[in-house]
Amino acid sequence: MAAGVATWLPFARAAAVGWLPLAKKIMPKPPVDKKSRNDEILFVNVSGIRFQTWKNTLDRYPDTLLGSSEKEFFYNEDTQEYFFDRDPEMFRHILNFYRTGKLHYPRQECIQAFDEELAFYGIVPDIIGDCCMEEYRDRKKENQERLAEDTEAENATDTPLPPHSTSRERLWRAFENPHTSTMALVFYYVTGFFIAVSVIANVVETVPCRPLKGSKKDLPCGEKYTLAFFCMDTACVLIFTFEYLMRLFAAPSRCKFMRSVMSVIDVVAIMPYYIGLVMPENEDVSGAFVTLRVFRVFRIFKFSRHSQGLRILGYTLKSCASELGFLLFSLTMAIIIFATVMFYAEKGTKGTNFTSIPASFWYTIVTMTTLGYGDMVPNTIAGKIFGSICSLSGVLVIALPVPVIVSNFSRIYHQNQRADKMRAQQKVRLARIRLAKKGTTNAFLHYKEDGGFQDRDSDNALCLKNRSAFEHQHHHLLHCLEKTTNHEFTDELTFSEMCMTESVGYRTSRSTSISSQQGVSTSCCPRRGKRRAIRLANSTVSVSRGSIQELDTLQVHKTSAGPQRCLTLKGATRLLTIGGPPLCLSQEHC
Amino acid sequence: AVSTMWETEGLQTFGIVVVVCASLKLLHLLGLISFSEDSVEDELELSAVRHRPEALEQLEAQTRFSRKELQILYRGFKNECPSGVVNEDTFKEIYSQFFPQGDASTYAHFLFNAFDTDHNGSISFEDFVMGLSILLRGSVQEKLNWAFNLYDINKDGYITKEEMLDIIKSIYDMMGKCTYPILKEETPRQHVEIFFQKMDKNRDGVVTIDEFIDCCQNDENIMRSMQLFENVI
């Protein structure tokens, strides 16, 4: 149902009176309205701030939380109001939606918080009014991009390898993330070095060296030390070929790899050498072949694997593709127009440079980009006028897309910086999570050490009372798991000590307290045969004794707030160990 | 000679072909021409599945919870999952928080399948509350039925040794690696053997629901521990 239609329904029904005189058959009976039609004011208490509204207002949108019977779950009989434990500031906007029919997005709020509130109240974000829709979408997209980067950063470099990865997967990882192993790092630097060597060799071999003895002509170094350059080239190409083949072997999807830009660059960089080997030593052919050698310069692009900055530049250009396209297109149009004009303007002059329209292209380009080499100059007055118009418009056309490109670059650059910051933050966050997990485990171990499973009347009862009910229940849950598997939780230290001593029976003095209290569990292994028959028979007594005391702590005061939410799900989880008892192995109570 | 000319021509053709392809690629990159249907930018997706539970009265009738208890349950549920349903990943996340030392995801997967009675990939509030009602307020028969359903991974009515091994391994996974005594490779398998020795009366290699319920009802300890969790909510 479209929004707000519910309000108009009574009107439409009343207007049906107009059909009565024309009707062919008898009208059907109207539905009986069971509930009373009186409108009442509802009280909605959101975190202490009381809102009041008509019931009808909320009923306008029956497929949301407030408009449907779902709000009955939140009704508090004692205070006769609906209580929501949510943000009151956001609720204002939600309620305004019911009142006015338009949902507005508050600019100062976090987009995710707003989205969550909408999801909670069952409102689809698509109905945001036009006034706020653009802002909402922009921020949402920005947020999504940021989250996508986060997950990318998580999944990328520093995740540890899955334990059973083939050598092929490991090789691929070594290629993609050189920091993972020293071999990969060495290979990375070696290839970088050889790329540099190859590029420098290409450059140097065209520099003129001192001529050979007995000849006057200056030779380029490449022809003087042909053998040396050939050997260097061979070495580089061998390394590049080896690297390419290794990457091809390790790639998870070979077709995709072969189509990727970097592999194309690799191939183009090494092909000229092999073609040169295959080519016969023929003067005419090698003349044309020399042109192919220009592709060797593509080796410099292999550096983009090594340099983050080059990659950023590449991304910038890619993301500004449409602006660059626009620039190219408008420039081409302008060049053609001005070249034609200049050609016809200079046509009459004797010995002019503007021999054809394509010849005028060169002049136009040089003028529009304000280079002005001066090799082609107009002589006629008309030519000079058009020439000056050409140079003025050139400045304008080029200046237009530049700010867009600059802003794109700045955005990508900041994104990259943010990615680095995010990675650093992620490490801190992971460390904190690990610490929290260890804290929980340590709390549990201390609980056991302090005799949490003994009778309550012992002296230890005092320190036990400091733990919250949640902790008690959580520890009970973990204890049940221990009983199910008949193994105990320990901490890292003890575990590594145990591994080192390689003997299950030994315990260090530090943890003898645990063993002395648990007693029976240490003898699980030798008594395995007997246990089948006795299976929990001994634990009957301890179950009844221990469980009653445990149950005392489990009573949750129904009226108390606070950790109730955790307890709800916590309680549910404890329940889920019900799958446990039939599997319980140990002789202690569960 | 002809062959020389052909070779020269060939190289030039090759060069021209390369240049043309590169410029086409450049134009494609610049967005001036497109070869295939480029995917349109993703429009804002509709918000995720939203599920509203049945009315409070209906749930009161269908489960054995009181009105207040249902309210408490729903508030907690709704807070964790505002969309009204739990999908498997969220479920695994929630469950894993209680077992920081080990890996609870496999067991959470089995639990999820046990709760998701209509197998639509998500647990709604009704599924959740029905499951809890059986576990908390159900008769012993119902609870045992539920446990059997949990163990029977492919829901064919029989528990095989492989299914039991999977379940038990996932439980041991939750312990993590720092345990005393150190977890050995064969511990889960031995546990399965013990279980089958006890439950599989006719030694046919599978445990049926009747064998299971029979056996558990004859075992006092299991019976007593079933009473343990009644006051959890």
pLDDT band, very low/low/confident/very high, at A548 (cuts 50, 70, 90)? very low
- CB contacts of A274 in chain B (<8 Å) are none
Whether the CB of B138 is below 8 Å from some CB of chain A: the reply is no
Joined together, the tokens standing for residue B58 give 């209906």
**With 60 as the cut, is the pLDDT of residue A589 above it?**
no
- Selected residues 59-88 of chain B with any CB under 8 Å from a CB in chain A: 68, 70-80, 82-84
CB contact under 8 A, B94 and A569: yes
Nearest CA in chain B to A554: B232
Proportion of chain A above pLDDT 90, given as a percent = 13
How near does any CA of chain B get to the CA of A99, in Å? 22
Least confident of A302-311, A456-465, B168-177: A456-465
pLDDT for residue A428 is more than 70: yes
Q: Look at residue A462 and tell me whether its pLDDT is greater than 60.
A: no
B154 interface with A at CB cutoff 8 Å:
no
Per-position b or e across A463-488, b if 16+ CB within 10 A of its CB? ebeebebebbbbbbbbbbbbbbbbbb
Residue A496: closest C-alpha in chain B: B178
User: What pLDDT shows up at residue A28?
Assistant: 74
Residue A384 has pLDDT above 90, yes or no: yes
Model confidence at A472, in pLDDT bands (50, 70, 90)? confident
Instruction: Give A41's strand partners.
Output: A54
B141-159: average pLDDT: 87
Mean pLDDT across A356-360: 90
Contacts of B13 (CB under 8 A, 6+ apart): none
- Whether residue B171 and residue A485 make contact (CB cut-off 8 A), yes or no, is yes
**Interface contact flag, B219 A325, Cβ < 8 Å:** no
ipTM at complex level: 0.74
pLDDT in tens, A156-202: 555 555 656 678 888 888 887 777 788 888 888 888 899 999 989 88
B101-132, pLDDT tens digit by residue? 888 889 889 888 888 888 888 888 888 888 88
How many beta-carbon pairs below 8 A join chains A and B?
Answer: 246
**Model pLDDT, residue A6:** 55
Which CATH homologous superfamily contains domain B8-31+52-228? EF-hand (1.10.238.10)
Say yes or no to pLDDT of A137 above 60: yes
* A289 or A462, which is more confident: A289
- Reported confidence tier of residue B72, pLDDT bands at 50, 70, 90: confident
**What confidence score (pLDDT) does residue A361 get?**
94
Give B48's contacts in chain A (Cβ within 8 Å): 119
The answer to whether B55 and A69 have CB atoms below 8 angstroms apart is yes
Determine the pLDDT at residue A391: 93
Highest-scoring range by mean pLDDT, A180-194, A230-244, A276-290, A518-532: A230-244
Scanning A433-452 for CB atoms below 8 A from B yields: 436-438, 440-441
Please determine, for residue B225, whether its predicted confidence score (pLDDT) is greater than 80.
no
- Rounded distance, CA B13 to CA A302, Å? 26
B70-97 burial: b if 16+ Cβ within 10 Å, else e: bbbbbbbbbebbbbbbbbbebbbebbbb
CB contact under 8 A, A137 and B44: yes
Of A84-93, A374-383, A417-426, the least confident: A417-426
Range in A48-62, A95-109, A504-518, B53-67 the model is least confident about: A504-518
Q: What is the pLDDT of residue B116?
A: 86
Q: Is the per-residue pLDDT at A326 higher than 50? A: yes
User: Cα A387–A388–A391 angle (5° rounding)?
Assistant: 90
Q: Does B174 touch chain A (CB under 8 A)?
A: yes
Contact A478, A452 (CB under 8 A): no
Q: And the tokens for A424?
A: 């650093």
Task: Give mean pLDDT, residues A436-440.
Answer: 81
CA angle A324, A327, A331 (to 5 degrees): 145
Q: In sequence order, which residues have a C-beta less than 8 Å from that of residue B59 and are 6 or more positions away?
A: B53, B65, B70, B126, B129
- Looking at residue A149, its pLDDT comes to 67
Q: Which chain B residues have a beta carbon less than 8 Å from that of A572?
A: 128, 132, 232
Determine the Cα–Cα distance for residues A272 and A92; give it in Å rounded to an integer. Answer: 70
> Looking at the partner chain, which of A63, A568, A575 has a beta carbon nearest the beta carbon of B76?
A568
Contacts of A540 in chain B (CB under 8 A): 220-221, 224
Please tell me the distance in Å from B89's CA to the nearest CA on chain A. 15
Minimal C-alpha gap between A183 and chain B (Å): 31
| A226 vs A519 pLDDT, higher one | A226
Residue of A nearest to B100 (CA): A437
Which chain A residues are closer than 8 Å to B218 by Cβ?
Answer: none
pLDDT score for A340: 94
**Which among A143-152, A530-539, A555-564 has the top mean pLDDT?**
A143-152
pLDDT for A524 equals: 36
**What mean pLDDT value characterizes chain A?**
74
